Amino acid sequence: MKEETRPCVIPGCFSARRHDDLKEMLDSNKDSLKLEAMKRIVAMIARGKNASDLFPAVVKNVACKNIEVKKLVYVYLVRYAEEQQDLALLSISTFQRGLKDPNQLIRASALRVLSSIRVTIIVPIMMLAIKEAASDMSPYVRKTAAHAIPKLYSLDPEQKDQLIEVIEKLLADKTTLVAGSVVMAFEEVCPERIDLIHKNYRKLCNLLIDVEEWGQVVIINMLTRYARTQFLNPNINVSRVQNWVYSLFRAVSLPIEQSHDAALIYTAIRKILICEVQYVVLQNVATMTIKRRGMFEPYLKSFYIRSTDPTQIKILKLEVLTNLANETNISTILREFQTYIKSMDKDFVAATIQAIGRCATNIGEVRDTCLNGLVQLLSNRDELVVAESVVVIKKLLQMQPEKHSDIIKHMAKLTDNIQVPMARASILWLIGEYCEHVPKIAPDVLRKMAKSFTNEEDIVKLQIINLAAKLYLTNSKQTKLLTQYVLNLAKYDQNYDIRDRARFIRQLIVPTEKSGALSKYAKKLFLALKPAPVLESPFKDRDHFQLGSLSHLLNAKAGGYQELPDWPEAAPDPSVRNVEVKESVRAVGTVTYRDTGSSEEEVRKPERKSKQSKSDSESESESESESESSESESEDSEDSEAELKKKKKVVSGGGGSFSTIAPSSALKSYELLHRITGEGLSVEYCFSRQPFIPDANMVAVQVHFTNNSTSDTKSLHMEDVKLQSGMRVKEFPEIELLPAGETATAVMGIDFCDSTQTANFQLKFFVSIQPPVGELMRPFFMTENEFKKEQGEEENCEKLTLDVKCRNEHAIVQKVTTAANLSRVPCGSDKECRFAGRTVTSSSLVLVTVATKDQGAAQLTVNCEKMVIGTMLVKDILLALTQ
């Protein structure tokens, strides 16, 4: 501080002279002198000293060849341009030249500095520069352009429309380097233009894993908001398509949570090693534990308090422990609390006592235990502990006073010793409120208090008046004079609140001729039954702020906070996210940098090929099987959606280049019509396991036609559909012409009503489709805890001996997911594989557990509220695993 003011104290000679020699150095021809001068100037800026008078001398060097001098001049310019606008304009032409430099680093830094000069006159120049840079060849320059957008916007908000155009252009950029920055610009300039995201939604989801961590945070934030406006609430909705897109979003963000960045880990309790991080994470955990206790209950012990924790951390942990308390763990928690009470940190002890009070109000079973414990604390040597206990006991007693008159008596005695005003006031209130339970002691307490009235704190005085009034109403014989005395003392008190209260109470309780109608009701007013206080967590209503946000932490809306919108009632049109086929394929291609881990294009290509050839050999799909890895799932879905579209086109167009499209993963085909019975037309079908877009309650069936005859087949369509009651069918569009030797594929949807009934129809010949039970469900994404919670009802158990080939986890996962359309649930134990899904029509949960034991012994458990499905599924999976 002293240092900073020095140049101002001696304005004339010293500082001016010193700046003179700097000016001289800047004017010299030697770069080394210039550099030295610039270094000293930057050091001045860093220390917060004023170096603005050097502006003319510095700005001359903006065109200096030495790159370090140049950079330091930039630093200076950005700092002082705002103050010296006219002079700053001199440098603009240099930057304009820099924008055309062949070196991308120089182009980028010219744009960075140009956009950082906060001078309104150059807004048009900046706009132009940004537009140009947005279509630069170098992604680094485009990233800089994205950064410049919010700078320009804050300088001149009127440019918004033009800037949105640039944002739209950059959002379409396919490089990971740009993605984070442009979403940041989007969030700052036009967060309301959610429509700009539609076309880029899937691409952003795919790129997310490769974006640098800072960008990830911003993108995830934005996507969360997007999901809230575009999808139905995944917890209640039944629409399959939306669920799938949403799970894609979740699946992609899951692995990121495992990457190296604390900023993303709200759920992980383990990273709370650094104090500041711990503070923020615990704040969020505290909020979450109120609504989702189950999520954190297994980690209860992670929140145990260590004597070395800073007090603010201790208190937050205490909050979490209190929120987590329930009937089953309360005894453990209370035992833990007992050790906390002995701590040397008194603030923390006080908070612990409060916490015990809260546990006691929330959990009726332990109320008496807590109360007894607290009463014991009343004999503690530390006054603060006693005082805090008194306050908490007061609240607890209010719940059932009649049972505890001995405690009230005990507390009455404390008035002689305890000095903390809040505690004294609490005791007095308690005695006044329940004076009927302690009729002998109460007047005596009032007597003592009357004696010490003048020396008491204000809150205690108010409670003395209160006590006097209540006693006057119930026991006026003994206390009339005392009350008069107290009221007289209060009448001349210094505090006007107390004088007011005394006047008011006197009018109310002492009958005079003038006293109004109210005095009749005085007793009712004072001795009304008061509701017991509810002890609530201070974090209770914080959840209306988004977790992890600054606003949430402060429990106050920070500037620029955007409310998370509620889930929409009806889902907006999902087709807005569809993009051109070509583009989506390319986006898929860029996904896997980090996981294939190689920079070369060659490495990635074979992988894609292998994916296409997957359908040929079932065994190959092992590691990439859909439920196994979230990412491949997303890719596959992308792929197949594109395929689906192609297919439809082809179907309506009637044949063509169709045979090249292979199904996205190994699917079992069933015969619908044999070549011979079909007189040359053979038809196969398979369950594509993709959401059936026109109706989410239907199972998608992919039908594959081959014309083996020598003549063309015309107008292939379904007719004479015979269904069991409740079933529905969405027919595939008519195939007008299937030339000889050609094949065609079409997709139809059937609602099987969660049963394995057959769908019969005519397809030139009479055919029928019967689904295996495993196809009547769709994968459902859930966590281990959710799984455990849902488990337990309607169990079907079977012991089995695994086939030799499927004694490893992969084989099991593969066999089960082939047998039934389920998704894998993460699981901590290596002896168990878990899967979850929902039936397509009624959305009933289907949970499957395969627990392996030694030598191939295993146990299969299926939980499903639909008994029939459960039993059939057990049979099918059993068959798959033992063959």
Partner 1 sequence: MIHSLFLINASGDIFLEKHWKSVVSRSVCDYFFEAQERASEPENVPPVIPTPHHYLISVLRHRIYFVAVIQSEVPPLFVIEFLHRVVDTFQDYFGVCTEAAIKDNVVVVYELLEEMLDNGFPLATESNILKELIKPPTILRTMVNTITGSTNVGEQLPTGQLSVVPWRRTGVKYTNNEAYFDVVEEIDVIIDKSGSTITAEIQGVIDACVKLTGMPDLTLSFMNPRLLDDVSFHPCVRFKRWEAERILSFIPPDGNFRLLSYHVSSQNLVAIPVYVKHNITFREGSSQGRFDLTLGPKQTMGKVVESVLVSSQLPRGVLNANLNPSQGTYTFDPVTKLLSWDVGKINPQKLPSLKGTMSLQAGASKPDENPTFNIQFKIQQMAISGLKVNRLDMYGEKYKPFKGIKYMTKAGKFQVRT
Binding span for partner 1 by CB under 8 A among 212-220, 317-325, 405-413, 502-510: 212-220
Please state, in angstroms and rounded to a whole number, the distance separating the CA atoms of residues 797 and 568.
Answer: 40
Single-letter amino acid code for the residue at 332: T
Binding span for partner 1 by CB under 8 A among 15-23, 62-70, 768-776, 850-858: 62-70
List binders of partner 1 among 807-846 (CB under 8 A): 810, 828, 830
List binders of partner 1 among 562-581 (CB under 8 A): 562
Residue 409, interface with partner 1 (CB under 8 A)? no
Binding span for partner 1 by CB under 8 A among 136-144, 193-201, 568-576, 717-725: 136-144
Cβ(604)–Cβ(595) below 8 Å: no
Q: 3-state SS string over 555-576?
A: CCCCCCCCCCCCCCCCCCCHHH
Residue 369: partners with Cβ closer than 8 Å, 6 or more residues away: 334
Residue 604 CB, nearest distance to partner 1 (Å)?
Answer: 10
Binding span for partner 1 by CB under 8 A among 296-304, 455-463, 848-856, 867-875: 296-304
Among 128, 268, 481, 879, binds partner 1 (CB under 8 A): 268
Residue 65, interface with partner 1 (CB under 8 A)? no
Q: Which two tokens stand for residue 362?
A: 């929330």
Phi, psi of 340, rounded to the nearest 5 degrees: -65, -35
The size of the interface with partner 1 (CB under 8 A), counted in residues, is 116
Q: Which two tokens stand for residue 198?
A: 């539609």
- Would you say 144 or 206 has its CB closer to partner 1? 144
List binders of partner 1 among 14-43 (CB under 8 A): 30-32, 35, 39, 42-43
Residue 616 CB, nearest distance to partner 1 (Å)?
Answer: 21
Among 28, 93, 135, 259, binds partner 1 (CB under 8 A): 259
Among 96, 233, 343, 791, binds partner 1 (CB under 8 A): 343
Among 162, 267, 629, 708, binds partner 1 (CB under 8 A): 629
Please state, in angstroms and rounded to a whole number, the distance separating the CA atoms of residues 565 and 577.
Answer: 20
Among 101, 165, 212, 365, binds partner 1 (CB under 8 A): 212
Binding span for partner 1 by CB under 8 A among 336-344, 480-488, 636-644, 714-722: 336-344
Q: 3-state SS string over 60-128?
A: HHHHCCCHHHHHHHHHHHHHHCCCCHHHHHHHHHHHHHHCCCCCHHHHHHHHHHHHHCCCHHHHHHHHH
Residue 882 CB, nearest distance to partner 1 (Å)?
Answer: 25
Please state, in angstroms and rounded to a whole number, the distance separating the CA atoms of residues 280 and 260.
Answer: 18
Cβ(130)–Cβ(148) below 8 Å: yes
Residue with tokens 């639909």: 866
The CA R_g of the chain, rounded to the nearest whole Å, is: 38
Residue 140, interface with partner 1 (CB under 8 A)? yes
Cβ(291)–Cβ(324) below 8 Å: no
Residue 144, interface with partner 1 (CB under 8 A)? yes
Residue 559, interface with partner 1 (CB under 8 A)? yes
835, β-bridge pairs: 824, 848
List binders of partner 1 among 169-188 (CB under 8 A): 176-177, 181, 184
Residue 690 CB, nearest distance to partner 1 (Å)?
Answer: 22
Residue with tokens 């204000």: 458
- Would you say 108 or 819 has its CB closer to partner 1? 108
Residue 640 CB, nearest distance to partner 1 (Å)?
Answer: 20
Tell me which H or E stretch contains 631.
Answer: helix 630-653
- Would you say 527 or 811 has its CB closer to partner 1? 811
Q: Give which of 408, 302, 298, 392 is closest to 349, Cα–Cα.
A: 392
- Would you say 590 or 859 has its CB closer to partner 1? 590
Beta strand 719-722 pairing with 759-763: antiparallel
- Would you say 485 or 561 has its CB closer to partner 1? 561
Q: Which two tokens stand for residue 363?
A: 């959990």
- Would you say 263 or 576 has its CB closer to partner 1? 263
Residue 663 CB, nearest distance to partner 1 (Å)?
Answer: 22
List binders of partner 1 among 731-790 (CB under 8 A): none
Residue 235, interface with partner 1 (CB under 8 A)? no
Residue 262, interface with partner 1 (CB under 8 A)? yes
Residue 557 CB, nearest distance to partner 1 (Å)?
Answer: 8
Binding span for partner 1 by CB under 8 A among 266-274, 387-395, 398-406, 678-686: 266-274
Please state, in angstroms and rounded to a whole number, the distance separating the CA atoms of residues 514 and 495.
Answer: 26
Ramachandran region, residue 794 (left: φ > 0; alpha: ψ -120 to 50; beta: rest) = left
Residue 33 CB, nearest distance to partner 1 (Å)?
Answer: 10
List binders of partner 1 among 593-622 (CB under 8 A): 593-599
Residue 203, interface with partner 1 (CB under 8 A)? no
List binders of partner 1 among 72-111 (CB under 8 A): 72, 74-75, 79, 82, 103-105, 108
Q: Is 437 helix (H, G, I), strand (E, B) or coil?
A: coil
Residue 808 CB, nearest distance to partner 1 (Å)?
Answer: 11
707, β-bridge pairs: 681
Residue 336 CB, nearest distance to partner 1 (Å)?
Answer: 8
Please state, in angstroms and rounded to a whole number, the distance separating the CA atoms of residues 739 and 732.
Answer: 18
Residue 154, interface with partner 1 (CB under 8 A)? yes
Alpha helices, DSSP H only, in 516-565?
522-526, 550-554
Please state, in angstroms and rounded to a whole number, the distance separating the CA atoms of residues 269 and 743.
Answer: 56
Among 86, 161, 192, 276, binds partner 1 (CB under 8 A): 276
* DSSP annotation of 264: G
List binders of partner 1 among 352-391 (CB under 8 A): 380-382
Q: 3-state SS string over 757-801?
A: CCEEEEECEEEEECCCHHHHEEECCCCHHHHHHHCCCCEEEEEEE
Q: Give which of 100, 141, 94 is closest to 117, Cα–Cα.
A: 94
Among 28, 224, 307, 488, binds partner 1 (CB under 8 A): 307
